[in-house]
Chain A
Amino acid sequence: MIPSAFKFYKPDNISKAVSLMKDFGEEARVIAGGHSLIPIMKQRLTDIKHLIDLSGIDEIKGINITGDEISIGAMTTQVELINNEELFQKAPIIREASLQIADPQVRNLGTIGGNVANGDPANDMPGLMQLLDATYKLSGTNGSREVKARDFYEGAYFTSREDDEILLSISFESPSGGYAYEKQKRKIGDYATAAAGVIIKVENNKCSSASIALTNLSDTPVYCNKAVDMIVGKEIDNDLLDRVTKTCVDQSDPVADQRGPVEFKKYVAGIVIKKALKRAIERV
């Protein structure tokens, strides 16, 4: 459990980091909290020659809230997301979801940027960001650009991020309506067997807007567009919720692992989605 040798860099601004990425190309990797990267380095599942630590770059740290616009620096830790009162007021689902990630030790170091950039379908933040319709700001040799979270994920560990690009920040609008993030896992510190996030607005028992996203139920997070289309504008009743749930499950495509076979995961997905829907509606 010892990684192969690498050179370590700690730039203090983004342009230095980007130019290091450019210089070393595929052999370089940025490190944030290290809680996804270090385990795979230790198992030598990846061979990184140049490791660029982002923790010295202040410009990509912290939470900025102006009115309903929320922007979170990539190097903001998960514990900061939990503890920030203003963020909790504006987007309480972030705390609810973050508290279900790993354990306090991991959250003390793990960052939102690392969590969403990693591309691991088991990570909770990518689904959450699709739920919030967040925008990722990236910077690379060819300058900066923005990508929607809903367009970012291509496959397990594959994203639309270019090798020399660094994620700077994540922004989204303060969501309104009821919300819930439901996750079933085997124990503290485990990734989801199945998880679902819901944000919903209901007026006179009619759904006026909704967002639903799933975690660890496919090789990318799943934004349940079909289910959203199905529920928006409709009168909420149990039958509708069952149909919406089923539509979400149909969009999922989990793989078997030690958590259980596909059939089980799909069944549990249905349970957590329905729970999330109900709890979000109760909270409207």
Chain B
Amino acid sequence: MDDVKTPSSEERKSALSGLGTSRKRVEDARFTQGKGNYVDDIKLKGMLFGDFVRSPLAHARVKNIDTSAALALPGVHAVLTADDLRPLGLHWMPTLAGDKQMVLADGKVLFQGQEVAFVVGDDRYAVADGVSMVKVEYDELPVVTDPFKAELKDAPILREDIADQKEGAHGARRHPNHIFTWEAGEKEETNKVIDEAEVVADEMVYYHRTHPCPLETCGCVASMDKVNGKLTVWGTFQAPHAVRTVASLISNIPEHNIRIISPDIGGGFGNKVGVYPGYICSIVASIVTGVPIKWVEDRMDNLMATAFARDYWMRGKISATKDGKITGLWCHTTADHGAFDACADPTKFPAGFMNICTGSYDIPVAYLAVDGVYTNKAPGGVAYRCSFRVTEASYFIERMIEVLALKLGIDSAELRSKNFIKKEQFPYTSALGWEYDSGDYHRAWDKALEAVNYRQLREDQKKQLQLFKDGKSRKLMGIGLSHFTEIVGAGPVKNCDILGLGMFDACEIRIHPTGSAIARLGTISQGQGHATTFAQILASEIGIPASDITLEEGDTDTAPYGLGTYGSRSTPVAGAATAMAGRKIRAKAQMIAAYLLEVHDDDVEWDVDRFSVKGAPEKFKTMKEIAFASYNQAIPGVEPGLEAVSYYDPPNMTYPNGAYVVVMEIDVDTGVSDIKKVYALDDCGTRINPMIIEGQVHGGLTEALAISMGQEIAYDEQGNVMTGTLMDFFIPTAWETPTYETDYTVTPSPHHPIGAKGVGESPNVGGVSAFSNAVHDAFKPFGLTQAHMPHDHWRVWKIAKDLGLHN
């Protein structure tokens, strides 16, 4: 025994695979072997299937629905319409944004793809036949797809149900198609500063409508057990507990009789936060038929009907002194919400955190107003891999910086540097009311510019421009810069709730007698790797190897209440709860250790995976020993067992930030862009698992590439969805995906227990601006100020054409 060397602290630390370790993802073994368990893998005895008859029209009155031919088909059990749901009060449902939405068409349809009837049958085949046999008679109505036309005097009224309501969930409505006006900042003061400014840049920045398009579409299996009155719903839910509460409130089934389970989820990106008619109809159908009902969307349903993202028209004015000190920012946004306001934002924030639009800059005064309007498009407005409207805000300010730099005739890198919030200004209160927790923007910016050799890039660009001008090349080089500040981790209960549910989160830990553990959280991973990273947080907190800790999420019968996973809130909120619960475990472990070591509580100290007697490190009790003791010793004044639960209400949001650079070469004749470099420096505070961070950054950048360079949900004037399949809705393959260089600085969050800020969404927020700015930058010498995304081939070609580069 004596010659066995006690491992050093460092060795014991590395054995834990705690914070900072690039631990391999524990989820991958099952995902890469096809052993995941997704909603569609759930098969219950006697289970029937459901699917929708959807509206082919964007705006029409529903005159008649004839279900008889469908019901006559063998294998079709039921066809639900609004009339069947009405007696239950479920033909409409509340949205997360304080509006209501038709579950099934109630007299009219308001967007193409809207749910009209729900057919239930033996299998998907019978149901598909049934769907094709339901005859719906429509009377077409005039369609509004342009949000600026929605508020015209003679615009057709979309929402007749609330046409006369002058007050909405967020204040006054000035037109039947108007949803809300939301304001932040100082209007008068900002106008004054801008009117009197030396330099003002004024631009309309459009962030087009797109869609999160997760690999797995939305779906559920609802099972009502009539014997014990318990409803179980397996579904693609990013917020299972909120779904349970909402389901209870609208169905009147007591909350303890509802069990919501989110099994493995194949990506969410905001698409799976909301509540969809499919869930309601499956539940009702299960109650009606007494057997489980499965509903799973196909890809076209998903793109056409479940929550879209963005669609913000952001008119901006930014003012500065002649030498480039920004003095004020003004923004008016027209937000196209589609037919129902089904945004998934904290309830008091109908435009999400759009008021982070002052970005990374010290702007003394600012004003923001957002007007939401109804159009004949699908509802949604979810946070597609970003915190609520943060990527819109970031894109807006990063474009405004570029147009201001043009006006001032100075390099936009320098303009940014001149206006960044300085390190010593943190915590920094922005003109629009947020308290930025920490940051060192100058350090990140300088590091980024040096890493890409910015000066050399500008030289190369000049040479390429000369070649172009000399007729020796048809290509231009663009350098896209962006610096972003996110606001994530919603959030403090004092200002963040969803339908009255405070946005805290929770973790519950049980240590088993043999020293391994299980932890349960109120969040739910959809690919983020929670089972890997939260175990690492705990490993560092309680000295049990990450591999000995099971992580469980997503079952409301077992997990503690939490508001789920979106808006990069898991690490900032549930991650903090995990650390805090771990600390409670450690506090109790300390008492047990002291008892076992026969010293006073204060005479032991924590050492990686054990408590040892101060000054006598050879006298110690490991967590394993302590765990066992907690189960087999009667310790005076200490309850048996070793468990803890923590509900964490964060004192503030966290503010991840970063500096991105994209270099691309653009062929002015074909509109094809060739991405030469993508450099992403992220500061997400304390880094839990560098490998997962890198993976998240790669994934987010790929979505940013998609959004900026081609991905969109396009409608024609009749309200037909033009991008309803993956042929036209751009998802990059490995072929289109460039190589990424990732980098980092670490500025921990001062208020988070482990200093972590969240990273999963940063690359989408920073990436879109960087890609788009690169396109703009390429055409800058020819006078381009603003061109709307997506920058697909023909739109880039159009820029060149309009600038006269084809002659």
Contact = CB atoms under 8 A, between A and B. Distances in A.
B798 interface: yes
B304 to A, nearest CB: 12
Interface stretch (B125-133, B361-369, B500-508): B125-133
A165 to B, nearest CB: 29
Contact of A264 (B129, B710, B736, B797): B797
Contact of A2 (B124, B710, B728, B733): B124
B94 interface: no
B797 A258 contact: no
B129 A4 contact: yes
B316 to A, nearest CB: 29
B132 A187 contact: no
A188 B124 CA distance: 31
Contacts, number: 64
A271 interface: yes
Contact of B669 (A5, A259, A271): A271
B295 to A, nearest CB: 14
Nearest to A47: B132
A260 interface: yes
Given A2-B128, A267-B797, A187 B670 contact: no
Nearest to B128: A2
Judged by DSSP, the binding face of A is loop
Nearest to B806: A267
Nearest to A270: B669
Contacts of B672: 184
B492 interface: no
Contacts of B733: 103, 187-189
B124 A184 contact: no
Contacts of A1: 128, 298-300
A187 B732 contact: yes
Contacts of B669: 267-268, 271
Given A2-B128, A260-B793, A187 B798 contact: no
A56 interface: no
The contact size tier of chain A is 20 to 34
Nearest to A43: B300
Contacts of A261: 794
A5 B129 contact: yes
A193 interface: yes
B679 interface: no
Interface residues of B, number: 30
B730 interface: yes
Interface in B772-795: 792-794
Residue among B132, B727, B806 with max Cβ neighbours from chain A (10 Å): B727
Contacts of B299: 1
B638 interface: no
A86 interface: no
Contact of B793 (A2, A184, A189, A191): A184
Contact of B710 (A4, A103, A186, A267): A186
Interface of A: 1-2, 4-5, 43-44, 103, 184, 186-191, 193, 258-261, 264, 267-268, 271
24 contacts: A1-B298, A1-B300, A2-B125, A5-B125, A184-B670, A184-B793, A186-B710, A186-B730, A187-B733, A187-B736, A188-B735, A190-B727, A191-B727, A193-B794, A258-B728, A259-B794, A260-B792, A260-B797, A264-B793, A264-B794, A267-B797, A268-B669, A268-B670, A268-B793
Closest CB pairs A-B (n = 7):
A260-B794, A2-B128, A258-B728, A1-B298, A188-B735, A264-B794, A188-B733
Given A186-B710, A264-B797, 17 more contacts: A1-B298, A2-B124, A43-B300, A103-B733, A187-B710, A187-B730, A187-B733, A187-B735, A189-B727, A189-B733, A258-B722, A259-B793, A259-B794, A260-B792, A268-B793, A268-B797, A271-B669
